[in-house]
Copies of this chain bind each other. A is one copy, B any other.
Amino acid sequence: MAHIQFAPFSSVVDPGFWHKLTEKKLNEYGLDDSERLIHGFFSDGNAPGMPPQLNLDYLAFNSQFNPPSQSFPAYGILHNTNTLESFKEKDKKLLLANAGEELWKDFQSGVFLQEPEKLCRFLLLTFADLKKYHFYYWFAFPALKFPERSTLTEEPAMLENIYSPEKLTSLISAYHSFQTDRPNYATCFLIQEDGDNFTFYEFAQLDVLISKRNVIVGVCDPSSLDSYPGWPVRNLISFLTYKYTGVVKSIKVLCVRNRTHDGVKHFGKSVLLTVDIPALNKNIADVPECVGWEKNERQKLGPRMVNLSNTMDPVRLAESAVDLNLKLMRWRLLPDLQLEKIASTKCLILGSGTLGCNVARLLMSWGIRHITMVDNSKVSFSNPVRQTLFTFEHCLEGGQPKAQAAASSLRTIFPGMKSEGKTLSIPMPGHAIIESLVEQTRAEVKELEELIQSHDAVFLLMDTRESRWLPTLICASKKKIVINAALGFDTFLVLRHGVKTGKADGSMPSSMLDKIAGSLLGCYFCNDVVAPGNSTTDRTLDQQCTVTRPGISMVASALAVELLISILQHPLRTDAPAEVNSYDSSLLAESDCSLGIVPHQIRGFLSRYQQILPATQAFHMCTACSAKVIENYEEHGFEFLLRAFNEPGYLEELTGLTAMQTATQDAEVWDLSDDEEPESMEATT
């Protein structure tokens, strides 16, 4: 009697599956490499010459899995490893033996009577190298050697050879009536033959019907080979053998092949097997050997690798690759890290020079996608070596507008950026507006107000002190996060402006080591007892340009961005308190923020490789953020601003600084060291 040989599955994995795996790994699994249930499917309509295929696509991970129309499900377990080494070192024998044991247990439980489709199983061992988009994988289709070899009691018969065309048509018709109303086509069923007529029954009726002479067990078969049924038939025969050994001598099994023939689905090539059911000892503890690892393209037992970096949409590739780095931080180091809070923050960068370029780059690294750059000048030849978003090309033909060039470079680096550039001059106190320019200035102020309104965080990275005044005031009024950075030759200042949320007002620090509530912190102008005025007139070349040690800008930019991120991560956000006089940060208490402390100011001195972290309170006579100034701005709008631009002394008069200056001849109000003279902080960006 002939042994039955089975045609094994060939796995066919759609790129959509790998994309989905990438997404799952990034967003859900992280470093958790435990088993996952997945699904594949196969068709019983394969054309001649086609190997029996097991397909996986992007739906494989759905917990409610519905195979495509006229396809049949396969039930898989995914073992996705974290490293190529653990992929290689995984004990494949053990893995398959465990799958065999599961199958054996399910034989006993009888689950297959209700869900015979679950006889079709697979294992998938993977390692996803998400940096290169190389996917290493190895399928197994577990099958028990039970019996050691199945045999036929009769020659296999192709239906078209033994059934008349009418009988075949009758079979097909009955099949369709049976399958059509089901949510998913059944993989296995029972067929009662009565002359040329057929009645289909659920597989669950097996026990009732098995002993009837005219009952055939039907199974949809992916094989297209005349003499070899496919893998699902193998497990079905094992199960039937297990169940009816000693009960029946043989069972008829119809391997249904629903092939298209002259444009119509047809059963003619289906094969009827009469399978011998030997009398066997089915000792439960005696798990039969399990086989089924797939051969690779070289016909060896071994894994395959697919390199999707060339076939995937590169923009999507870049997006998931960039996500990966950030998620890695959370997986391993900072489970609390709220990447969404960061990613959704819209940032406005005023000044697209050395600081602006570096800050934009770092915000992009942190996953921030919405960045608007503002500047009023063009890229000049001296810029690209220090301003990291510009190249030589940007300087040609008179130079491209800086803000637009920077915004477009961000997209060149990462196409997923939503970056925009605005060429805009920011009106400044002390730079009087002549009559003919009033309307233009009004429009500029309006545009700045709208820009600030539509962003969450504003970076002040301009190269003059007085250009920071208007955005400081507007941000104070609109309660936006402001990060301010300014450079000297080898010194820098990075600070966050206090945001007057109303929380903690009135509580005053009582000792050196006390904290200042975030809403009480000062702004850039709070330490000044003069209003901003025109500082650009008559500056020599070295004062107009960047005269800083090149490293200073990268340090200040990095700290400015990290300060914003710390604010966003702190449970109190801008209300996060800052330590007072924390010159020695080792005195600082542990922070509530997973990223560490959230200082008010960071002042750095490159000549001594030193940083200090002063914190100061908002000044009630501040020319930019005091209540009087904000009230006047909110009440009188542009008319108030125009007076501030045009009238020297107006802001001092308004805030009471003039009176104070008169009173304090020798103003020992501030306490800056030689390294911190306000002017030397301004030869930027």
A183 at the interface (CB under 8 A from B): no
Q: Contact at B540–A31, with CB atoms within 8 Å?
A: yes
Residues of B within 8 Å of A318, CB to CB, are 381-382, 384, 392, 395
Stretch at the interface among A61-69, A429-437, A547-555, A650-658: A547-555
Residues of B within 8 Å of A82, CB to CB, are 540-541
Say which residue of B391, B546, B549, B602 sits within 8 Å of A609 (CB atoms): B602
Q: Contact at B328–A541, with CB atoms within 8 Å?
A: yes
Cα of A440 to Cα of B321 in the assembled complex, Å? 32
Given contacts A130-B541, A544-B131, contact A613 B602 (CB under 8 A): no
Q: Contact at A538–B83, with CB atoms within 8 Å?
A: yes
Q: Contact at A597–B607, with CB atoms within 8 Å?
A: yes
Cα of A611 to Cα of B364 in the assembled complex, Å? 25
Q: Contact at A549–B562, with CB atoms within 8 Å?
A: yes
Residues of B within 8 Å of A322, CB to CB, are 381-382, 385
Q: Contact at B597–A31, with CB atoms within 8 Å?
A: no
Q: Contact at B562–A586, with CB atoms within 8 Å?
A: no
Q: Which residue of B lies closest to A329 (CB)?
A: B547
Q: Which residue of B lies closest to A131 (CB)?
A: B380
Residue interface mask A545-568, B partner, CB < 8 A = 1? 111011111110111011001000
Residue interface mask A168-198, B partner, CB < 8 A = 1? 0000000000000000000000000000000
Cα of A399 to Cα of B309 in the assembled complex, Å? 9
Q: Contact at B321–A381, with CB atoms within 8 Å?
A: yes
A595 at the interface (CB under 8 A from B): yes
Q: Contact at A608–B586, with CB atoms within 8 Å?
A: yes
A588 at the interface (CB under 8 A from B): yes
**Interface set, chain A 354-391, CB cutoff 8 A to B:** 358, 361-362, 364-366, 380-382, 384-386, 388, 390-391
A314 at the interface (CB under 8 A from B): yes
Q: Contact at A392–B365, with CB atoms within 8 Å?
A: no
Residue interface mask A478-495, B partner, CB < 8 A = 1? 000000000001100000
Chain A: residues with Cβ within 8 Å of the partner, total of 94
Given contacts A322-B385, A384-B413, contact A559 B555 (CB under 8 A): yes
Q: Contact at B391–A85, with CB atoms within 8 Å?
A: no
Cα of A324 to Cα of B591 in the assembled complex, Å? 45
A111 at the interface (CB under 8 A from B): no
A596 at the interface (CB under 8 A from B): yes
Return A593 CB to nearest CB of chain B, in Å. Answer: 9
A332 at the interface (CB under 8 A from B): yes
Cα of A361 to Cα of B391 in the assembled complex, Å? 12
Cα of A400 to Cα of B185 in the assembled complex, Å? 49
Return A20 CB to nearest CB of chain B, in Å. Answer: 18
A331 at the interface (CB under 8 A from B): yes
Residues of B within 8 Å of A108, CB to CB, are none
Q: Contact at A610–B595, with CB atoms within 8 Å?
A: no
Q: Contact at B131–A541, with CB atoms within 8 Å?
A: yes
A265 at the interface (CB under 8 A from B): no
Residues of B within 8 Å of A550, CB to CB, are 362, 365-366, 558, 561
Cα of A141 to Cα of B609 in the assembled complex, Å? 55
A414 at the interface (CB under 8 A from B): yes
Return A578 CB to nearest CB of chain B, in Å. Answer: 11
A325 at the interface (CB under 8 A from B): yes
A398 at the interface (CB under 8 A from B): yes
Residues of B within 8 Å of A361, CB to CB, are 385, 388
A300 at the interface (CB under 8 A from B): no
Q: Contact at B395–A314, with CB atoms within 8 Å?
A: yes
Return A244 CB to nearest CB of chain B, in Å. Answer: 48
A415 at the interface (CB under 8 A from B): yes
A317 at the interface (CB under 8 A from B): yes
A397 at the interface (CB under 8 A from B): yes
Return A40 CB to nearest CB of chain B, in Å. Answer: 26
Cα of A585 to Cα of B583 in the assembled complex, Å? 12
Residue interface mask A325-355, B partner, CB < 8 A = 1? 1001101110000000000000000000000
Q: Which residue of B lies closest to A599 (CB)?
A: B609
Residues of B within 8 Å of A212, CB to CB, are none
**Interface set, chain A 511-547, CB cutoff 8 A to B:** 537-547
Given contacts A385-B414, A558-B555, A609-B602, contact A332 B392 (CB under 8 A): no
A396 at the interface (CB under 8 A from B): yes
A86 at the interface (CB under 8 A from B): yes
Q: Contact at B385–A412, with CB atoms within 8 Å?
A: no
Q: Contact at A588–B608, with CB atoms within 8 Å?
A: yes
A287 at the interface (CB under 8 A from B): no
Cα of A611 to Cα of B612 in the assembled complex, Å? 10
Return A292 CB to nearest CB of chain B, in Å. Answer: 27
Residue interface mask A444-456, B partner, CB < 8 A = 1? 0000000000000
Q: Contact at B385–A365, with CB atoms within 8 Å?
A: yes
Cα of A356 to Cα of B381 in the assembled complex, Å? 24
Given contacts A385-B414, A555-B558, contact A540 B83 (CB under 8 A): yes
Q: Contact at A539–B83, with CB atoms within 8 Å?
A: yes
Cα of A539 to Cα of B129 in the assembled complex, Å? 12
Q: Which residue of B lies closest to A363 (CB)?
A: B550
Return A335 CB to nearest CB of chain B, in Å. Answer: 12
Given contacts A551-B558, A551-B561, contact A317 B596 (CB under 8 A): no
Interchain residue pairs A-B with the least CB separation, the first 4:
A596-B607, A551-B558, A321-B381, A365-B550
- Known interface pairs A321-B382, A558-B558; 19 further A-B residue pairs with C-beta atoms within 8 A, sorted by A's residue number: A82-B541, A85-B537, A131-B381, A309-B399, A320-B381, A321-B380, A322-B385, A325-B382, A325-B547, A328-B541, A358-B554, A365-B385, A384-B413, A584-B584, A585-B609, A591-B607, A595-B607, A597-B607, A597-B609
Q: Identify the A interface with B (CB < 8 A).
A: 31, 82-83, 85-86, 130-133, 309-310, 314-315, 317-318, 320-322, 324-325, 328-329, 331-333, 358, 361-362, 364-366, 380-382, 384-386, 388, 390-393, 395-399, 412-415, 489-490, 537-547, 549-555, 557-559, 561-562, 565, 584-586, 588, 591, 595-597, 599, 602, 606-611, 613
